């Protein structure tokens, strides 16, 4: 039985009981308990079922390396899967449910997998893909899908809040044990800015448990003094429950801090000039048969539970070891009044201070012995003892209810390795330790990570007898025993699996890892890597350093997605750009469309109206009466200077330098490949300044493009640019009544004579400071009016009010698109996709023949872009009046090499035209403009086809009479 001891346990507060539940059972613990220590105190040794064979599993460890005790915590919006009990502080009302069992933890149907173990060998998952093939779909997949995975994925939206913080320091110290505290004190006293994080809920690491002395003081006292001293220093930030999860390039460090409060977890994004890894070491299990039974624990964990939380894992604990450290656990057990029937030490000779101390307490020490097999089902009942040097013949049976094992220690080198620090094999200690000759290097090419304490490979055991590597117990174990020796508890990988992988040719450690799943999942092999590696190297008959380790990748322990997302959820998931009229649109039925980060009204829904009806109404009203479009999202870039015209002549395909002041010109921008990337109207404001309109969402990109050329290529040209997109609200006033509305507002002469088509003027309109552009993207009489953004909403409202008598209605982007398509105007992103030239789109008229050069000119001269066979823009008129489906391809004669029908074009824009009462489309068709009047065929998804006649893309008012009135 595991139970709470009557006295002791410095981490718990016996005056503060806590109630929690496990699988529905109500249990009690104390403040200061972890979920693991509280479960153990309640004799809940069985904590879960293993991943593959559904074997009963108990607690193995007491810290971050725990592979078995993973729970679903909470419910609904605070549900969390895969929480490690050893790192979960106990709190009132905590609700924990064990994972990976059905129907119950005690009686699990999946345990049948265990009897099928020989059918589930290493790589079985991959093998199911191969043979026999129909088995995958009908047999393996349904079973695997049902049984795969550890915790359940949460279904409800996460109710907790998370946040991130950027922090900077001279030294980031990971680990609050004695080594970490010492490093922090030294650096802090030198005046450096320090951040010290400890993943556990208490300071001091192992030293207080092991009864060490520091500077002549008991470790616990020294730790308390050190923490007090650090807390008092203004240049120091220290945190418990904060795990450094990764070290990245140039001193970037991520750490996850668990907080109980308004925010649940905080991600620290730290820039550290130096990182000190004081991350300690992790004890290794021993590979003997039945080493996964509940009750078999790491020796250090047994000691932790007794000393820190006053919890005994069992009344009779057999200790099995290959080193001196485990004797501390035996001594701690006996001193707590518990029984240790024997210490089985695999080493042939046992002597020295710790073994003598154990013997002095009357503990029986058996040298050269090991465990042949652990007995028991859901709980250890005894061990069969054998000679380590033999093949497992049982020499004695010892009854016990717990086993404390120690296979030696591995330094935690993850933070050293994340950013490229190399390791060296230390034969004497049988460990990989950081190689100070090959450290991770930072921006200056110098080392930026240092390991101190046990993490550096200094296990602090110089005065103890050396350990002897024991990779298998007994060393000559036969196949039957090897198939019960667990290496990786979380993934159910056994000694026999690694040996099988080696036999099947998986000689690279990285391949063997993936094939066997050794060291995968949430614990990433913290307890299994070295043992697995040693088995692999034995099987391959290669030295351990030759086989090497798998790559250590961040995070050290899993970080929740919520923490990584930080504040970026809900309303602030991403920036939403709003025009000055946004709230008006919202209040008037806007159905929104995302355009980059902008939101634009797609249409405005009226009572009882569907989206399609609303769009048709908006088109008809604009064509017949008066429409208003919020065009504020259009990019507006000021280009000014003596060389402004010269710059624009290079950026645009047409000639901009000849544009008279007061006039507007439509222009095209290409990239150096010659492909069209943006378009818009340029207005010449003065002799040396232009206002360039870009597509919505294109402003930042085009502004950056201009600056790129100005800064990096033509830096001697005298031009300044400024992105004024957000300075102005812009409204397109469109339709036959447009001029009437503006005249009613009054203040400017906007007659055809004073402000002709493609002209602009500045002045006052209805008391607003405006700039009016006489341009049209709809084919209607149209004025685009810009006002300072702060006045945009008021200006819009005054247009709506004054426009009532002229039948004014706002219209959205879909009506805009339909009207421009009726006019055959192209849209960047519809007619273009990054592989289309202006020539393809019949825009040759907008390409200057007089200019020596412009961006894209050389690219457009390439043969494949001048090929007459290219797909070029035409209008498409369906024979039956229907609408061609979006994205449809026109099919040609014959089939290609893959047996697919050949194509000869595709649709780029397709709409029902309310103006014409039928389907219209634009498309890119092979030799399109040369084939006017021909019919092309568009198959539909799901059968049938649409036939369309090739026509001019200008469907409406081809002479342009309506816009120029």
Partner 1 sequence: MLILTCPYCGVAAEETELAPGGEAHLKRAGSTASDAEFESYMFARENPRGVHFERWRHAYGCGKWFLAARCTETLEVFGTYKAQCTEPSTEIVGRIKARRPGWEGRA
Partner 2 sequence: MSEPVLASASAEGFARVEEICPQGMIAFRGDLEASEVRRALEEVTGLKIPKQRGILLDGERGLGWMSPDEVLILLPYADVPSALSTLQDRLSGAHHLAVDVSDARAVFRISGKRAREVLAKLAPVDLSPGCLGPGELRRTRVAQVAAAFWIDETGAITLICFRSVARYVSDLLMLSANQGTEIGLYEA
635 contact, one of partner 2, partner 1, none, CB 5-8 Å limit per kind: none
67: left (phi over 0), alpha (psi -120 to 50) or beta: alpha
Residue 937 token pair: 């065929």
What is the Cα–Cα distance from 507 to 10, expressed in whole angstroms?
A: 48
Residue by residue, DSSP assigns 596-660 as TTEEEEEEEPPTT--HHHHHHHHHHHHHHTEEEEE-TTSEEEEEESTTHHHHHHHHBSS--TTPP
Regarding 575 and contact with partner 1 (CB under 8 A), the answer is no
Instruction: Please report where in the chains the tokens 């921008």 appear, as a residue.
Output: 669
User: Which 217-276 residues touch partner 2, going by CB under 8 A?
Assistant: 237, 261-263, 266, 269, 271
Residue by residue, DSSP assigns 19-45 as EEEETTEEEEEEET-BHHHHHHHTT--
What is the Cα–Cα distance from 130 to 174, expressed in whole angstroms?
A: 45
Give the list of residues 6+ apart from residue 457 with CB closer than 8 angstroms, or none.
411, 426, 429, 431, 433, 434, 451
User: By CB under 8 A, which span of 520-528, 787-795, 849-857, 904-912 interacts with partner 1?
Assistant: 849-857
How many amino acids of this chain bind partner 2 (CB under 8 A)?
A: 45
Residue 204, exposed/middle/buried by CB under 10 A (0-12, 13-18, 19+)?
A: buried
Which residue in the set 726, 743, 830, 964 belongs to the binding site for partner 2 (CB under 8 A)? 726
Which residue in the set 857, 918, 927, 947 belongs to the binding site for partner 1 (CB under 8 A)? 857
User: By CB under 8 A, which span of 216-224, 630-638, 708-716, 746-754 interacts with partner 1?
Assistant: 708-716
Instruction: Please report where in the chains the tokens 């035996």 appear, as a residue.
Output: 330
User: Which 251-290 residues touch partner 1, going by CB under 8 A?
Assistant: 251-252, 271
857 contact, one of partner 2, partner 1, none, CB 5-8 Å limit per kind: partner 1
CA-based R_g, the chain, Å: 38
User: By CB under 8 A, which span of 548-556, 671-679, 787-795, 809-817 interacts with partner 2?
Assistant: 787-795
User: C-beta of 717: minimal distance to partner 1 in Å?
Assistant: 12
* Antiparallel, parallel or unpaired: β 449-451 and 265-277: parallel
**Which of 261/660 has CB closer to partner 2?**
261
**Which of 443/597 has CB closer to partner 2?**
597
x-or-dash string of contact with partner 2, 592-611, rule CB under 8 A: -----xx-------------
What is the Cα–Cα distance from 232 to 230, expressed in whole angstroms?
A: 5
**Which of 649/814 has CB closer to partner 1?**
649
User: By CB under 8 A, which span of 208-216, 232-240, 655-663, 703-711 interacts with partner 1?
Assistant: 703-711
**Which of 526/599 has CB closer to partner 2?**
599
712 contact, one of partner 2, partner 1, none, CB 5-8 Å limit per kind: partner 1
x-or-dash string of contact with partner 1, 331-370, rule CB under 8 A: ----------------------------------------
How many amino acids of this chain bind partner 1 (CB under 8 A)?
A: 29
Which residue in the set 19, 249, 586, 797 belongs to the binding site for partner 1 (CB under 8 A)? 249
Q: How far is CA 25 from CA 126, 186, 358, in A?
A: 39, 48, 39
Which residue in the set 399, 722, 754, 932 belongs to the binding site for partner 2 (CB under 8 A)? 722
* Antiparallel, parallel or unpaired: β 380-387 and 369-376: antiparallel
3-class DSSP state for residue 741? helix
Residue by residue, DSSP assigns 710-723 as HHHT-TTS--EEEE
User: C-beta of 447: minimal distance to partner 1 in Å?
Assistant: 11
How far is Cα of residue 51 from the mean position of the Cα atoms in its chain? 25
Residue among 911, 741, 757 at smallest CA distance from 824: 911
User: C-beta of 170: minimal distance to partner 1 in Å?
Assistant: 14
Strand partners, 343: 319, 365
Instruction: Please report where in the chains the tokens 């360039």 appear, as a residue.
Output: 692
How far is Cα of residue 705 from the mean position of the Cα atoms in its chain? 30
Which residue in the set 91, 235, 438, 441 belongs to the binding site for partner 1 (CB under 8 A)? 441
**Which of 84/599 has CB closer to partner 2?**
599
* Antiparallel, parallel or unpaired: β 889-895 and 901-913: antiparallel
Residue 802 token pair: 């004054």
95 contact, one of partner 1, partner 2, none, CB 5-8 Å limit per kind: none
Which residue in the set 672, 801, 886, 945 belongs to the binding site for partner 1 (CB under 8 A)? 672
User: C-beta of 257: minimal distance to partner 2 in Å?
Assistant: 10
Which residue in the set 791, 830, 934, 957 belongs to the binding site for partner 2 (CB under 8 A)? 791
Q: How far is CA 645 from CA 156, 622, 648, 716, 719, in A?
A: 58, 36, 5, 14, 9
x-or-dash string of contact with partner 2, 641-660, rule CB under 8 A: xx------------------
Contacts to partner 1 by CB under 8 A: 248-252, 271, 420, 441-445, 672-673, 704, 707-708, 711-713, 715, 852-854, 857-859, 861-862
Contacts to partner 2 by CB under 8 A: 163-168, 193, 237, 261-263, 266, 269, 271, 567-568, 571-572, 574-580, 597-598, 638, 640-642, 689, 718, 720-722, 724-728, 788-791
């Amino acid at each position: 039985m595991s139970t709470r001891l009557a006295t002791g346990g410095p981490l718990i507060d016996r005056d503060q009981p806590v109630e929690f539940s496990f699988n529905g059972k109500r249990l009690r613990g104390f403040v200061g308990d972890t979920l693991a220590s509280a479960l153990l105190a309640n004799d809940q040794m069985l904590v879960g079922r293993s991943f593959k064979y559904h074997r009963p599993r108990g607690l193995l460890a007491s810290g971050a390396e725990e592979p078995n005790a993973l729970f679903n915590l909470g419910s609904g919006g605070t549900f969390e899967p895969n929480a490690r009990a050893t790192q979960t502080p106990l709190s009132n009302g905590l609700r924990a449910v064990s994972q990976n069992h059905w129907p119950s933890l005690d009686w699990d149907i999946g345990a049948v997998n265990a009897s099928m173990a020989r059918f589930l060998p290493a790589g079985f998952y991959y093998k199911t893909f191969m043979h026999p093939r129909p088995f995958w779909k009908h047999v393996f997949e349904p079973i695997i899908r049902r049984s795969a995975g550890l915790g359940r994925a949460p279904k409800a939206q996460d109710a907790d809040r998370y946040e991130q913080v950027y922090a900077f320091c001279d030294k980031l110290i990971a680990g609050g044990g004695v080594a970490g505290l010492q490093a922090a004190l030294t650096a802090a006293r030198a005046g450096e800015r320090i951040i010290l994080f400890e993943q556990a809920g208490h300071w001091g690491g192992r030293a207080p448990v092991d009864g060490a002395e520091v500077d002549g003081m008991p470790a616990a006292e020294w730790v308390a003094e050190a923490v007090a001293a650090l807390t008092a220093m203004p240049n120091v930030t220290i945190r418990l429950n904060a795990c450094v999860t990764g070290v990245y390039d140039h001193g970037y460090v991520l750490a996850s801090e668990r907080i109980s409060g308004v925010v649940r977890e905080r991600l620290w994004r730290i820039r550290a000039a130096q990182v000190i890894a004081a991350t300690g070491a992790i004890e290794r299990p021993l590979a003997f048969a039945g080493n996964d039974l509940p009750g078999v624990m790491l020796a250090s964990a047994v000691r932790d539970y007794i000393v820190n939380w006053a919890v005994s894992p069992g009344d009779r604990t057999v200790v099995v070891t290959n080193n001196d450290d485990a004797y501390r656990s035996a001594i701690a057990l006996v001193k707590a009044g518990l029984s240790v029937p024997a210490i089985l030490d695999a080493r042939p000779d046992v002597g020295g201070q710790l073994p003598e101390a154990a013997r002095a307490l009357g503990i029986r020490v058996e040298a050269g012995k090991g465990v042949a097999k652990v007995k028991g089902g859901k709980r250890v009942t005894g061990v069969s003892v054998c000679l380590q040097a033999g093949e497992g013949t049982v020499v004695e049976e010892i009854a016990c209810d717990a086993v404390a094992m120690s296979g030696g220690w591995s330094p935690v080198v993850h933070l050293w390795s994340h950013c490229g620090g190399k390791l060296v094999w230390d034969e004497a200690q049988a460990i990989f330790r950081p190689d100070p000759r090959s450290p991770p290097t930072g921006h200056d090419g110098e080392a930026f990570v240092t390991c101190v304490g046990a993490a550096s490979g200094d296990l602090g055991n110089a005065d103890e007898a050396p350990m002897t590597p024991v990779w298998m117990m007994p060393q000559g174990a036969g196949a039957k025993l090897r198939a019960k020796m667990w290496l990786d508890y979380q993934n159910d990988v056994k000694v026999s699996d690694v040996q099988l992988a080696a036999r099947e040719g998986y000689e690279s450690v990285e391949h063997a890892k993936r094939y066997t799943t050794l060291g995968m999942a949430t614990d990433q092999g913290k307890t299994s890597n070295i043992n697995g590696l040693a088995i692999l190297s034995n099987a391959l008959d290669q030295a351990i350093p030759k086989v090497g380790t798998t790559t250590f990748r961040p995070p050290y322990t899993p970080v929740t997605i919520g923490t990584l997302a930080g504040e970026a959820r809900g309303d602030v998931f991403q920036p939403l750009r709003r025009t000055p009229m946004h709230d008006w649109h919202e209040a008037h039925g806007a159905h929104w469309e995302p355009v980059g980060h902008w939101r634009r009204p797609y249409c405005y829904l009226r009572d009882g109206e569907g989206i399609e009806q609303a769009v048709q109404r908006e088109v008809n009203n604009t064509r017949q009466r008066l429409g208003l479009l919020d065009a504020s999202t259009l990019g507006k870039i000021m280009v000014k200077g003596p060389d402004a015209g010269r710059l624009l002549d290079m950026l645009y395909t047409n000639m901009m330098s000849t544009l008279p002041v007061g006039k507007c010109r439509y222009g095209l921008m290409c990239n150096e490949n010659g492909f069209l990337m943006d378009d818009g109207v340029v207005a010449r404001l003065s002799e040396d300044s232009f206002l360039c309109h870009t597509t919505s969402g294109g402003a930042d990109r085009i502004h950056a493009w201009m600056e790129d050329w100005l800064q990096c290529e033509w830096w001697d040209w005298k031009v300044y640019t400024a992105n004024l997109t957000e300075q102005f609200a812009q409204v397109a006033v469109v339709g036959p009544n447009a001029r009437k509305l503006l005249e009613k507002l009054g203040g400017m002469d906007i007659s055809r004579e004073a402000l002709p088509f493609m002209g602009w003027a500045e002045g006052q309109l209805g008391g607003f400071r405006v700039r009016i552009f006489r341009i049209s993207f709809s084919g209607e009489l149209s004025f685009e009016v810009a006002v300072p953004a702060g006045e945009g909403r008021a200006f819009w409202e005054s247009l709506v009010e004054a426009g009532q008598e002229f039948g004014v209605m706002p219209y959205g982007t879909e009506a805009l698109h339909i009207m421009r398509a009726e006019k055959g105007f192209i849209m960047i992103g519809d007619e273009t996709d990054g592989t289309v030239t202006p020539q393809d789109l019949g825009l040759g008229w907008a390409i200057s023949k007089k200019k020596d050069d412009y961006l894209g000119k050389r690219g457009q001269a390439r043969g494949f872009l001048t090929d007459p066979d290219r797909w070029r823009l035409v209008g498409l008129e369906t024979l039956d009046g229907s609408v061609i489906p979006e994205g449809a391809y026109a099919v040609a004669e014959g089939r290609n090499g893959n047996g697919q029908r050949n194509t000869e074009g595709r649709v780029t824009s397709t709409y029902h035209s309310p103006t014409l009462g039928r389907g219209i489309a634009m498309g890119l068709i092979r030799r399109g403009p040369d084939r006017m009047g021909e019919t092309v065929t568009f198959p539909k998804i799901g059968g049938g086809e649409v036939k369309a006649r090739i026509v001019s893309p200008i469907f409406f008012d081809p002479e342009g009479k309506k816009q120029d009135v």
